[in-house]
Structure 1
Amino acid sequence: MTPTARSRPLLPLRVSASEPVVLRVEATTTGCDCDWYLDLRWSGPAGSGTLRIDDSGRPLRASAATGRPVYGCATELGRWGR
């Protein structure tokens, strides 16, 4: 999965409790049923680490949909959509 120039954030990002940043991750595939997760590396004055983003301990999933309707979970809206 390669980000497009339109969607690629300028890194590194500087965030704080008063100025959070929301990253929207969009995973697509044209030829597989893929399980995946996102490891987000972070660092700050108190240390550094990696935050795994998944589905409650299970991998996230993307499936090929050539010629089929596409649905996705709009987490910012709290629902699935087409």
Structure 2
Amino acid sequence: MSDHALHPGSLLRGGTSAPHVPAAGWLATLARMVRAIEERRILATLDDRMLADVGLNRLDAEREVARAPWDIHSRN
């Protein structure tokens, strides 16, 4: 087996094969984008009390929900 062989699940768990695969970084970014879409969809459904529980107000939540899927970096 070559040094570039993929092992099942190695890309998602950060296994030893991931650095040898050029697409690993792209796949990890895609996974983060999908997760951001799902989390923003959930965030949009929270009421004001729930938002306050996680330290957000309605305006913060609306700004987060409006972000593009590829905008996955934290904003401080």
- After TM superposition, the score normalised by the length of structure 2 is 0.28
Give 1 or 2 for the bigger CA radius of gyration: 2
Structure holding more strand per residue = 1
Structure holding more helix per residue = 2
- After TM superposition, the score normalised by the length of structure 1 is 0.27
